[in-house]
């Protein structure tokens, strides 16, 4: 339970540098006439599909709801990350970056297009795609290190221990 809570906290906190990175990269790589940032589009489309409250809210409230949803999703993803076994011994930051890339691919190439909440990233603006991938790498790095700090008192260069529940190599042949 402690690791799940640490994962939620780490995922939520990791969403801070991710969001800052996304804002800067969106500004640098995407022209003014392009669509809004992904979290806003996803939140508003989900709200449309569920017939939820967004039509009752003003623009400022919509932005606040988007931020709350974005940070909440980051926290929930952090809990998922905390549950995963560590199969190789790598620095926590590297593990987190790998998860960030996996999480981007699962969501932006699979889940979100399938639910019609966001276009498939291969059909999106290249600058927005680059900003979104980079933001997930930043999020993953912060998540990996944050979880190591919260759950194991780790240092930035700490190696994530291999999961001991796996059978010895010779029995897997």
d(CA 80, CA 11): 9
> Phi then psi for 91, rounded to 5 degrees?
-60, 145
Burial 38-58, CB ≥16 within 10 A → b, else e: bbbbbbbbbbeeeeeebeeee
Neighbours of 128 (CB within 10 A): 22
What's the whole-number mean pLDDT along residues 6-31? 90
pLDDT tens per residue, range 52-81: 665 667 788 888 888 999 999 999 999 999
Q: Is the pLDDT of residue 19 over 90?
A: yes
Inter-residue contact 8 to 81 (CB < 8 Å):
no
Q: What is the mean pLDDT of the chain?
A: 83
pLDDT tens per residue, range 118-141: 888 888 878 888 889 999 999 999
DSSP 121: G
What's the whole-number mean pLDDT along residues 25-49? 78
Q: Is the pLDDT of residue 155 over 50?
A: no
User: Which residue has 């988007």 as its token pair?
Assistant: 66
| Domain spans of the chain, in order of start | 2-166
């Amino acid at each position: 339970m402690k690791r799940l809570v640490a994962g939620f906290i780490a995922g939520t906190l990791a969403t801070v540098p991710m969001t800052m990175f996304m804002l800067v990269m969106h500004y640098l790589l995407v022209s003014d006439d392009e669509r809004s940032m992904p979290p806003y589009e996803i939140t508003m489309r989900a709200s449309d599909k569920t017939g939820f409250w967004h039509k009752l809210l003003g623009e400022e409230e919509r932005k606040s709801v988007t931020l709350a949803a974005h940070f909440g999703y980051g926290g929930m993803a952090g809990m998922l990350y905390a549950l995963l076994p560590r199969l190789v011994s790598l620095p926590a930051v590297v593990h987190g970056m790998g998860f960030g890339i996996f999480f981007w691919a699962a969501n932006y190439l699979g889940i979100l297009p399938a639910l019609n909440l966001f276009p498939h990233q291969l059909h999106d603006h290249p600058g927005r795609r680059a900003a979104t991938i980079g933001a997930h790498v930043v999020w993953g790095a912060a998540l990996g290190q944050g979880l190591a700090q919260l759950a194991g008192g780790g240092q930035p260069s700490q190696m994530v221990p291999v999961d001991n529940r796996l059978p010895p190599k010779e029995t897997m042949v």
